[in-house]
Chain A
Amino acid sequence: MITQTPQQIWLIIAGMAIVAPLVLWPEATGGQPDPARLSAALVTIILGSLTRNTLIAIFGGGVTLFGLLYLIG
């Protein structure tokens, strides 16, 4: 079994499985992939991996989302 960090792998697995369809096929756009949402997800992942800081990742993702929604509508 997973020995290093057994607890956290469940959050990774469940989180990714729940999130994947929401990112790729958001209901808000009628299930069509949306550049603003895809970019926001990507920025959140990159910032989260680089900084290991949840707060920075949330802010970065939020700014990207609203910025792009404003720019490209």
Chain B
Amino acid sequence: MSLSKSKTPVRAGIRDALPFILVVAPFGMLFGVVGSEAGLKLVEVMGMSVLVVAGASQFAALQQMLADTPTLMVILTALTVNLRMAMYSASLTPHLGEAPLWKRAFAAYLMVDQSYVMAITKFETEPEMTLSDKLRYYFGTMILITPVWYAATLAGALLGKAIPPELALDFAVPITFLAMVAPMVKSLAHLAAALVSVTLALALAGLPYALGLLVAAIAAMITGALVETAMARGQA
């Protein structure tokens, strides 16, 4: 992804995040619509968006709740879908790990795919950034996205069926992910991992509790590692 050259890290974060508002807004609205149509009260829909701040995971949890799944399994499913956040955290630790606990906790609350992608790209291209600049940039990326996420959920919940289906809100999610992922595929290992991930996710889509996702992710990770090892050996 391309990064802006703004002087202050906060502004650079805000600028880099602007395009993502285009996709966060429809996604939040969609969650509001689906949540309220599923019979959740306004405060429940909003509570989920404010407390969880994780689109894909919220949808997974909502689906399970509608299917009368036991609460424990709802929680486990949502956690599975968001397991990648643990990997994101681990990969940001070398950059933000020295920050005080409350700042790290706040960073964790605001961690979404978009903030992670922007942060890791920025930190890797500009390794000379100080800890406080890195934190400013990270929080800068979420200054607009977070309120837009809340507001869009609210708008979706209030408007509900008044939103025409032609807006195709559902497709904001695939387009965001694909637009973030495609530029990142830079090696054969990445490509192999992506293909295994897609194939298994589709083949195992019928499994309950997002188990297919878990299996697909693990298999894809192993594939990526094997391909990279093989490539390294080929070069040596």
Binding site for B on A (CB under 8 A): 1-28, 36-37, 40-41, 44-49, 51-55, 57-58, 61-62, 65-66, 69
B217 within 8 A of A: yes
Instruction: Give the interface centre of A13, A17, A46 by most chain B CB atoms within 10 Å.
Output: A17
Of the candidates B22, B197, B216, the one having the most CB atoms from chain A within 10 angstroms of its own CB is B197
Contact assessment for B220 and A11 in the assembled complex, using a CB-CB cutoff below 8 Å: no
Using a CB–CB distance below 8 Å, which chain B residues touch chain A? 1-2, 19, 22-23, 56, 81, 83-84, 87-88, 91, 113, 116-117, 120, 165-166, 168, 170-171, 173-187, 189-190, 193-194, 197-198, 200-202, 205, 212-213, 216-217, 220-221, 224-225, 228, 232
Which A residues lie within 8 Å of B212 (CB)?
17
Q: Are B175 and A49 in contact (CB under 8 A)?
A: no
Contacts of B221 in A (CB 8 A): 2, 9-10, 13
The residue from A4, A7, A14 contacting B186, defined by CB atoms under 8 A apart: A4
Cβ of A12 and Cβ of B181 under 8 Å apart? yes
B213, A18: Cβ atoms under 8 Å? yes
Are B216's CB and A17's CB within 8 A?
A: yes
Q: Assuming the A-B contacts A22-B173, A40-B171, are A4 and B187 also in contact, with contact meaning beta carbons closer than 8 angstroms in the complex?
A: yes
Beyond the given pairs A15-B180, A18-B173, 7 more chain A to chain B contacts, judged by CB atoms under 8 angstroms and listed by A's residue number, are A10-B221, A17-B213, A18-B81, A27-B170, A37-B174, A49-B185, A55-B2
Q: Give 27 CB contacts A-B under 8 Å.
A: A2-B228, A3-B232, A4-B189, A7-B91, A11-B88, A11-B181, A12-B185, A13-B84, A14-B84, A14-B217, A15-B181, A16-B181, A16-B198, A17-B220, A18-B56, A21-B201, A24-B202, A28-B168, A40-B174, A41-B174, A44-B178, A48-B179, A49-B183, A58-B179, A62-B175, A65-B168, A65-B171
Chain A residues within an 8 Å CB radius of B182: 44-49, 57
Among A24, A48, A65, point to the contact of B183 (Cβ < 8 A): A48
* Most chain A beta-carbon neighbours within 10 Å: one of B1, B113, B187, B212: B1
Partner of A28, one of B170, B202, B228: B170
